[in-house]
Each structure stands twice: as structure tokens, then as C-alpha cells.
């Protein structure tokens, strides 16, 4: 028998039906399972919301987290590939690349522009191979320091010299030698005028 005159029981603070909704508390993840066994998890709440794609064994393959600062994207896998038929552009205030090994293959030209300084540290050896190499320091200088020998090997090693390059044929070489052996008219005229203006030297007794 129920007495209708009994007072109503006050609501229990722990009752889900009467608990005020806290917008900052995350909701339980909504899970969508695909036929392949992969599943997608959606979590709503604050301060962030996320969408996570997991593999059959539960590993995260793709995660998108949306925060007040922006979106955070994570990709995880044994192999990832990004392909663009025209242009791929990456812009960031700070960019970091970390890898066990790095390979860069460029079919065309490579241009680097650095507004600040460049520092390279190589634990092993370093080699540069090119058709021609030009090093210019403007307005500073070039300093080479080695703990061992410094070797310079070339057809000719020229220091502070503006000589023309090596002749390509024997005829060009002979022409250069002939030009050097031919008397200079200006030099001969200067020598003759010097002899006329100079007084005769005294004869020895």
C-alpha cells in the first residue's frame, strides 16, 4: 500500500537524470566499426574534440584533434605517401625533420635561400662532386682549418693570378708563345728614349 501523503524524495545528486550537464566533461566515444575490422572513434567535449581511426588491433592510424588553437593531425603507419601533380607547399614557423636516413632526389635545379646562418655538423666524411665548384665570400673571408694535411691537386694551382685558362689545342699554345716572344713596340721605344736621355757612363781606366 502506497501512502499518497508521503513527501516526495529529493533528487539524488548522483542520479544521471538530475545531474547538471558539464560541457567541459568529454562524452563517451562513439565507435563505428567497419566490415574490415577497422573502427572510427568520435569523442565530443571540451577543450578538444577528436576523430580517431584505429586498425583491427587497436593501433591509431589517423587522428584529428580539434582544439581552440587549431587542428592537430597525426598519421601513423609503416609507409606514408603524399603525392601532388603540381605543387606541394609546406609553411611553418618552425619545421623539424627527423629520420634514420634521408634521401633527396631532384630532377631539375635546386635553390636554397637562407636569411640567417647555416651550420652543418657531420660525424663522418663529407664529399662534394660537381662539374664545377665556385666558393665566394662577400665581404668576409674564407678560413680552412685541418688537423692533418691540406692537399691541392689540379692542372695548375693559381694564387692571386688572372692568367687565361689552359689552351685547348697545340696551335693555340703556339700562338700564345709567339705573342709572348714578340717584342713590344712600346717597350722598345721607351728603352730607346731612356738611352738617349741618359748620360754616358765613365770609361774605366
For the chain, give every domain's residue range.
28-76
Check residues 189 and 65 and name the one with the higher pLDDT.
65
Cell of 195: 738611352
H/E element holding 41?
strand 39-43
Measure CA 178 to chain center: 53
The percent of residues above 70 in pLDDT, for the chain, comes to 73
pLDDT tens digits, residue range 21-33? 454 455 677 889 9
Given a contact cutoff of 8 angstroms between Cβ atoms, the answer to whether 49 and 66 are in contact is yes
Query: Would you state the pLDDT for residue 187?
Result: 53
Partners of 54 in beta bridges:
39, 60
Distance, CA of 68 to CA of 47 (rounded, Å) = 7
Among 22, 77, 75, 25, CA closest to 47? 25
Contacts of 137 (CB under 8 A, 6+ apart): none
Q: State the Cα–Cα distance between residues 166 and 192, nearest whole angstrom.
A: 35
pLDDT tens per residue across span 73-116: 888 888 889 999 999 999 999 999 999 999 999 999 999 999 99
For residues 112 and 127, give the distance between their C-alpha atoms in angstroms, rounded to a whole number.
19
How many whole angstroms separate alpha carbon 69 and alpha carbon 90? 19
Amino acid at each position: 500500500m502506497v501512502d499518497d501523503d508521503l513527501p516526495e524524495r529529493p533528487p539524488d545528486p548522483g542520479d544521471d537524470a538530475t545531474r547538471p550537464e558539464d560541457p567541459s566533461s568529454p562524452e563517451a566515444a562513439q565507435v563505428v566499426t567497419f566490415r574490415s575490422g577497422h573502427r572510427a572513434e568520435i569523442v565530443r567535449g571540451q577543450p578538444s574534440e577528436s576523430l580517431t581511426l584505429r586498425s583491427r588491433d587497436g593501433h591509431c592510424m589517423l587522428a584529428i584533434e580539434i582544439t581552440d588553437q587549431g587542428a592537430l593531425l597525426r598519421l601513423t603507419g609503416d609507409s606514408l605517401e603524399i603525392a601532388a601533380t603540381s605543387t606541394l607547399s609546406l609553411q611553418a614557423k618552425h619545421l623539424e625533420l627527423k629520420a634514420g636516413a634521408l634521401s633527396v632526389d631532384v630532377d631539375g635545379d635546386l635553390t636554397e635561400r637562407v636569411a640567417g646562418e647555416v651550420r652543418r655538423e657531420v660525424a663522418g666524411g663529407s664529399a662534394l662532386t660537381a662539374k664545377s665548384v665556385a666558393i665566394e665570400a662577400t665581404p668576409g673571408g674564407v678560413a680552412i682549418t685541418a688537423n692533418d694535411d691540406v692537399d691541392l691537386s689540379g692542372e695548375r694551382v693559381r694564387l692571386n693570378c688572372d692568367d687565361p685558362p689552359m689552351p685547348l689545342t697545340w696551335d693555340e699554345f703556339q700562338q700564345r708563345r709567339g705573342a709572348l716572344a714578340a717584342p713590344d713596340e712600346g717597350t722598345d721605344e721607351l728603352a730607346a728614349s731612356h738611352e738617349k736621355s741618359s748620360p754616358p757612363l765613365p770609361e774605366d781606366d
